[in-house]
Chain A
Amino acid sequence: MEVLARLMRELEDQLVVCMKCGMCQSVCPVFDQTGREADVTRGKLALLSGLMESIFDDPEGVYARLNKCLLCGSCAANCPSGVDVQEIFLKARAILTGFMGLPPTKRLVLRGMLANPSLFDRLTEWGARFQRIFSRPVNDIIGTSCARVMSPLLQDRHFRPLAPVPFHRQVPSVDRPAGASGRKVAVFTGCLIDKLFPNIAHSTLKVMDHCGVGVFLPENQGCCGIPALSSGDLDTFHKLLDHNLSLFEAGEFDRLVTACATCTATIHEIWPRMAAKRQREAAARLARRTMDINQFLTAEVNYSPPADAPEIPRRVTYHDPCHLKKSLKVFSAPRDLVQATPGCRLAEMAESDWCCGMGGSFNLQHYAISKQIGTKKAAQIMDTRADVLATGCPACMIQISDMLSQAGAAVAVRHPVELVAEALDP
């Protein structure tokens, strides 16, 4: 107990900032479902303080409650005292994981697979080959499948299947000089886009080409590291950071863009703060140049569609990914892109910036709560009578596809960049 208390003291100066006002209760998607103080940030911070002050001894209990969090950042964005929730939670997860050890399944997935990008790629490719045996399509418009037989892992999910061929197999690398715009970007693909949504990556390249932007896309990219970090696995995170930093340090570009809200937020906000000392400078340098693709296209290259672009009349509603709106304050750029797309009309849903309930591994560990949160989101989407749900995050796309598909909705799920790319050529 004393050892843990001493470790937790690293967080003391950040923990005392919380004045226990409880305002986080108004925005926490998990608390909204459960009404339990231990599920909201004020409670979690009190638990960490309690361990630090040795008021009680229940590290396992605290760890379990700490992990029952979407890391959506809604609380931090709404916190009157400016508590740095994300950093406290990630550091606390690392401390508690270090103290109690990584559970065996997580050890296997994170250290055995994720930490080794080329092995991870090979394993998911095998998965893509076999998934048809275990699953069957359920909704053509959304593109979801479900399990053929009862499965404890898949439960009743309607999931987006792995792409038959991941993006990195189709386009291993690119190094294209700047075009008319005089700009060149590095593209960080991100695991979900690579393995589930390669069309977003193709769209990205197409749009960059249209805008006269050069692209540097290095081969053998790794995960941004957030799954490891949110499991408290600093070692894997640092390993992935080394891998990615050396890849991107080698290229020449003025911006690093990603089409994944979570990757962008992780690189921009978390890499510099959670990097090992040796990596900190390079991470900060890269972070400063990192930008969400919607923002890049609207703010930096002034995207506009070609004059002869085909007009496909569609009603589009936009969901704000937490990591774009709350972490990076990006919310008008993706809407501007949607509205700039010929034929697209934007119809706002209620509470568009309420979390979809995905939260990465939260969805795996707490599917019941995740589903309650997502069901509400699906209903709000359907209320707009939109044909298309657009959102700037592939993780949100997985969750929303699942929820819409289970609700039997006929709403296509797209990244804004996909809509933009569709207008570029027939």
Chain B
Amino acid sequence: MIADKLVQEFKTVVGGENVWTDASDLHVYSYDAAVVDPVRPGLIVRPTTVEALGRTVRLCNDNGLPLTVRGAGTNLSGGTVPLPGGVVIVTNGLNTILEINEADMYAVVQPGVVTAKLAAAVEAKGLFYPPDPGSQAVSTIGGNVAENAGGLRGLKYGVTRDYVMGVSFFDVEGHLVKSGSRTVKCATGYNLTGLMVGSEGTLGVFSEIVLKLIPLPAHRRALMAVFDSLEKASETVAAIIADRIVPATLEFLDNFTIRAVEDFSKAGLPKEAAAMLLVELDGHPSQVEEDAARVESLCRAKGATSIRMAQDAAERDRVWAARRAALSALAQLKPTLVLEDATVPRSRIPDMVTAIQHIAERYDLTIGTFGHAGDGNLHPTILTDRRDRAEWERVEKAIDAIFDEALAMGGTLSGEHGTGIAKSRYLEKETSAGTILFSQRIKRAMDPNQILNPGKIIAVKE
């Protein structure tokens, strides 16, 4: 319980209508999109000015209250699940696009700006903000930066990290820290921006973010290729990359996912296909057309049973509708869906797909696999019912096994969902004891009272 007097102080800072303490309001901030246990916070605060945000952080620190910053709560690793009795700072009241600079190609935004809204605003000016996480319709830029979110375009365009030119943030005492700049080059001070990207709210609280923009590609071309074996599909991925073609997206769907999508959307996908690749090329029209023709002939050479090249925007949308429907289609099959994002060097995709199949058999689980084949980031999606205890134990073992396989192949636990609480205990396996120690020291130096989203990424050590 947070004392009434302290609640009053928060109200003074952000306004009475932006502080919530009812049991019902606390309950709805106890979870995010990850399959982890909910934890009930003690207070919800929704600042609507940057000044109020800074003073809220300070007030938490002064009173030793753990705080968790939350954008849209779409986190898939439990990073926005609060601490018991802690404070949740909701950032969606800070949702102004402060500037879109066409001459210098950058945007300045508040942390609560919704990713898709920024992307649309930027596109209206002929510019492009490429990171497109699956939750972009609701996710916030602050959350994307804090998690270093990815998306479908990683192969060619990289991830959120590659577009953050600078961040301003409040340290735990409420001091405003500025890093980076609006210039392409910037060599002053520590690279605090680099440290803050992906820090999951454990080191500071973003107040403003400067993002790099690029010109909007003039032309796009999508194609869909169907294969009767997994090997042929993954060899095609390798062949495309080896041919020095860099598609904007190169997505993979396995047989289970194809069948689920077809049952769900009746889009006319071949249910007997072992795998499908969806490719989109973008850039200068002549280059795109030339690359598209090469991709088509590579698919054919590697034994694709059918290839469909989208002829217009409507057909392109139909190609991508199949990919977009993947998660929905799988989600309809069972109550609980565990979406993993273990990532391997892309040449190991065939091995990883095979390994996931073996894991599904070994633990007698239903796993659909789809994802970003082009950048090695697959989404093995385990379908289960969390109420079935025995099966849930096997799910946990399967997750461990997936992580082990990914690490053995030189990969990472998470391509784009973050460490959060779901993966913190595996982090040492991927890195080293020294890495954990170093990270803990940074954390302790910047947050001596351990109030900034403690327990995320690394376990709290006294």
Total contacts A-B at CB 8 Å: 86
**Contact status B138-A26, CB under 8 Å:** yes
A46 interface residue (CB < 8 Å to B): yes
In B276-333, which residues have CB < 8 Å from any A CB?
A: 327-328, 331-332
**Contact status A20-B32, CB under 8 Å:** yes
Interface string of B109-122 (1 = CB under 8 A from A): 00000101000000
For this complex, 26 residue pairs linking A to B, each with C-beta atoms less than 8 Å apart, are A16-B336, A20-B32, A20-B33, A21-B74, A21-B135, A21-B331, A22-B32, A22-B33, A22-B72, A22-B138, A26-B116, A35-B93, A36-B25, A36-B46, A38-B25, A42-B28, A46-B27, A46-B28, A46-B30, A47-B24, A55-B38, A56-B23, A56-B40, A80-B328, A81-B331, A82-B328
**Contact status B138-A65, CB under 8 Å:** no
Interface string of B10-41 (1 = CB under 8 A from A): 00000000001011111111111100001010
State in angstroms the CA–CA spacing of A37 and B114 once bound together.
15
Instruction: Given A16-B387, A82-B328, answer yes or no on A22-B24 (Cβ-Cβ < 8 Å).
Output: no
Contact of B23 among A19, A25, A35, A58 (CB under 8 A): A58
Interface string of B332-347 (1 = CB under 8 A from A): 1001110000000000
- Enumerate chain A residues within 8 angstroms of B445, measured Cβ to Cβ: none
Instruction: Given A16-B387, A26-B116, A35-B93, answer yes or no on A56-B332 (Cβ-Cβ < 8 Å).
Output: no
State in angstroms the CA–CA spacing of A38 and B30 once bound together.
12
State in angstroms the CA–CA spacing of A55 and B137 once bound together.
30
Interface string of A187-220 (1 = CB under 8 A from B): 0000000000000000000000000000000000
Where the two chains meet, the residues of B that have a C-beta atom closer than 8 Å to any C-beta of A are: 20, 22-33, 38, 40, 46, 72-74, 90, 92-93, 114, 116, 135, 137-138, 327-328, 331-332, 335-337, 385, 387
Interface string of A18-44 (1 = CB under 8 A from B): 011111011000000001111000110
Interface string of A73-97 (1 = CB under 8 A from B): 0000000111000000000000000
| Closest-CB distance, A21 to chain B (whole angstroms) | 5
- Enumerate chain B residues within 8 angstroms of A305, measured Cβ to Cβ: none
**Contact status A61-B24, CB under 8 Å:** yes
State in angstroms the CA–CA spacing of A207 and B46 once bound together.
53
Closest to B139 in A: A22
**Contact status B29-A56, CB under 8 Å:** no
- Enumerate chain A residues within 8 angstroms of B90, measured Cβ to Cβ: 35, 37
A297 interface residue (CB < 8 Å to B): no
A17 interface residue (CB < 8 Å to B): yes
- Enumerate chain B residues within 8 angstroms of A62, measured Cβ to Cβ: 24
| Closest-CB distance, B202 to chain A (whole angstroms) | 22
| Closest-CB distance, A161 to chain B (whole angstroms) | 35
**Contact status B138-A37, CB under 8 Å:** no
**Contact status B28-A25, CB under 8 Å:** no
**Contact status A38-B31, CB under 8 Å:** no
Instruction: Given A61-B23, A80-B327, A80-B328, answer yes or no on A19-B73 (Cβ-Cβ < 8 Å).
Output: no
A57 interface residue (CB < 8 Å to B): yes
**Contact status A82-B332, CB under 8 Å:** yes
- Enumerate chain B residues within 8 angstroms of A360, measured Cβ to Cβ: none
- Enumerate chain B residues within 8 angstroms of A343, measured Cβ to Cβ: none
**Contact status B23-A81, CB under 8 Å:** no
A179 interface residue (CB < 8 Å to B): no
**Contact status A22-B74, CB under 8 Å:** yes
State in angstroms the CA–CA spacing of A42 and B32 once bound together.
10
- Enumerate chain A residues within 8 angstroms of B31, measured Cβ to Cβ: 20, 46
| Complex A-B, nearest 6 residue pairs according to Cβ-Cβ distance, in ascending order | A61-B24, A80-B328, A43-B28, A26-B137, A16-B335, A58-B23
State in angstroms the CA–CA spacing of A35 and B20 once bound together.
13
Closest to B48 in A: A35
Contact of B28 among A37, A57, A81 (CB under 8 A): A37
**Contact status B337-A19, CB under 8 Å:** yes
Closest to A39 in B: B28
- Enumerate chain B residues within 8 angstroms of A22, measured Cβ to Cβ: 32-33, 72-74, 135, 138
